[in-house]
């Protein structure tokens, strides 16, 4: 666990294990450790219900972002940090698979989840749990007050009208930032570097992560930038006094779909049965129904009824920009290096 203490927050869920004893091996078997990212959040009562039903004590270890999570899993694959993982997404998943981080587990998928299975994962090492689209969001109220027409396409973001108005999470340190970079790669092909040069020349601001962009620089959070790279679910959480949404995704152009997965870690000391129980729990109707308001993502279970605010304010794109997972694996590092060069000029 080298470096883990500095990079993680460890939460041990309260609740009584039904499996236990004084013997060290029995105690280890009674605990299942979930490795996840900093945004993981589920109601305490769901965790308690899992512990009571399964007999396992659930220990939750939080790392930073999905990218940092994947990197740590790869670096510690010979001595796994835990038993099961949640939060590796499709922008980083192939790296983990190529490094044999996960064991196979064919979970029973709820209706609709099949469409989110990672292409090429024939061994069923990753199980889809939630999904969401990284899209450009705008502060509708700001644009109305300033009598400016909001942008409608990715091309518009390089227009002089929107100089110094965009804030973007970094592709090197943020999964939504990486998703936005991939959206530009998928849209512009080999010309994506030229697009980013134009974007930076037009005053785009790059910050470390989504929280910095949304809660510090975005005008809805009292910042000074009314355009932000965020999620298609964001408008559901920004109502105004008249009941409308202040933040609306200005266009469906250039959205990139993210899917988050769970997986059983490979290793002789892994609590495989406990890990599989956690994956099943994440797919349960109760957890799937809690995802929108707990983690602001869409469940993969098509039978879950979404909160009223989501059905009223959230408009999902009918088409998204796609980049083949194999192409991401082969080019991710090079793309990020080129991107870093551009934003550093």
Nearest Cα residue to 313 out of 267, 252, 246, 251: 246
Nearest Cα residue to 269 out of 78, 46, 129: 78
- Tokens of residue 330, six digits: 């082969």
CA–CA distances in Å: residue 78 to residues 34, 101, 267, 269 = 17, 9, 7, 10
DSSP 8-class letter at 304? P
Query: How high is the pLDDT of residue 317?
Result: 82
The DSSP element (H or E) to which 335 belongs, if any, is helix 325-344
Query: How high is the pLDDT of residue 316?
Result: 82
Nearest Cα residue to 326 out of 109, 130, 98, 57: 98
Measured distance CA(208)–CA(160) in Å, rounded: 25
Paired residues of 333 in beta bridges: none
Query: How high is the pLDDT of residue 13?
Result: 45
Paired residues of 33 in beta bridges: 59
For residue 91, give every residue at least 6 positions away whose Cβ sits within 8 Å of its Cβ, in sequence order, or none: 66, 67, 175, 178, 179, 182, 258, 328, 332
CATH 3.40.190.10 applies to domain 132-256+317-344:
yes
Measured distance CA(77)–CA(88) in Å, rounded: 14
Query: How high is the pLDDT of residue 70?
Result: 87
Assessment of whether the complete model's pTM goes beyond 0.75: yes
Buried-exposed string 207-244: b where 16+ CB fall within 10 A, e elsewhere: bebbebbbeebbbbbebebbbbbbbbbbbbbbeeeeee
- Tokens of residue 20, six digits: 């236990």
Instruction: Give CA 299 to chain center in angstroms.
Output: 12
CATH 3.40.190.10 applies to domain 4-131+258-311:
yes
How do the domains of the chain map onto residue ranges?
A: 4-131+258-311, 132-256+317-344
CA–CA distances in Å: residue 323 to residues 179, 255, 328, 332, 334 = 10, 12, 7, 11, 15
Find where tokens 């970094």 sit: 170
Find where tokens 């809660």 sit: 215
Q: What is the largest CA-CA distance in the chain?
A: 70
* Segments of the chain with pLDDT less than 50: 1-24, 27
The DSSP element (H or E) to which 60 belongs, if any, is strand 57-62
Q: What is the pLDDT of residues 81-110, one digit of tens each?
A: 999 999 999 988 888 999 999 999 999 999
Nearest Cα residue to 31 out of 62, 13, 57, 5: 57
**Same fold across 4-131+258-311 and 132-256+317-344:** yes
Nearest Cα residue to 269 out of 54, 76, 38, 64: 76
Measured distance CA(235)–CA(214) in Å, rounded: 12
Handedness of CA 49, 54, 58, 64 (dihedral sign): negative
Q: Phi and psi at residue 217, in whole multiples of 5°?
A: -95, -25
Measured distance CA(58)–CA(40) in Å, rounded: 14
- Residue 310, SS3 per DSSP: helix
User: What does the angle CA 303 – CA 114 – CA 135 come to, to the nearest 5 degrees?
Assistant: 80
- Residue 289, SS3 per DSSP: helix
């Amino acid at each position: 666990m080298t470096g883990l203490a500095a990079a993680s927050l460890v939460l041990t869920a309260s609740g009584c294990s039904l499996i236990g004893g004084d013997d060290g091996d029995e105690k280890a078997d009674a605990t299942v450790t979930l490795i996840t990212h900093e945004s993981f959040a589920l109601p305490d009562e769901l965790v308690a219900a899992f512990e009571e039903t399964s007999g396992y004590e659930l220990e939750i270890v939080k790392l930073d972002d999905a990218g940092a999570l994947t990197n740590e899993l790869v670096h510690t694959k010979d001595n796994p940090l835990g038993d099961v993982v949640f939060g590796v997404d499709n922008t980083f998943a192939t790296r983990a698979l190529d490094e044999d981080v996960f064991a196979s587990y064919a979970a029973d998928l709820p209706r609709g989840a099949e469409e989110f299975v990672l292409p090429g994962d024939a061994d069923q090492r990753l199980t889809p749990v939630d999904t969401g689209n990284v899209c450009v969001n705008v502060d509708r109220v700001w644009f109305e007050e300033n009598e400016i027409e909001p942008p409608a396409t990715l091309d518009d973001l390089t227009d002089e009208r929107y100089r110094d108005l965009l804030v973007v999470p970094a592709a090197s340190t943020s999964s939504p930032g990486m998703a936005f970079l991939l959206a530009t790669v998928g849209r512009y092909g080999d010309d994506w570097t030229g697009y980013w040069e134009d974007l930076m020349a037009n005053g785009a601001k790059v910050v470390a992560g989504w929280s910095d962009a949304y809660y510090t620089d975005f005008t809805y959070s009292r910042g000074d930038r009314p355009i932000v790279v965020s999620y298609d679910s964001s408008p559901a959480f920004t109502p105004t006094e008249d009941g409308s949404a202040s933040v609306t995704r200005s266009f469906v152009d250039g959205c990139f779909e993210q899917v988050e997965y769970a997986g059983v870690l490979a290793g002789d000391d892994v609590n495989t049965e406990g890990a599989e129980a956690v994956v099943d729990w994440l797919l349960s109707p109760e957890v799937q129904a809690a995802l929108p308001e707990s983690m602001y993502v869409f469940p993969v279970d098509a039978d879950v009824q979404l909160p009223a605010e989501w059905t009223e304010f959230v408009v999902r794109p009918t088409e998204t920009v796609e980049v083949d997972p194999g192409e991401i694996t082969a080019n991710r590092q090079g793309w990020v290096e080129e991107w870093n060069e551009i934003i550093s000029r």
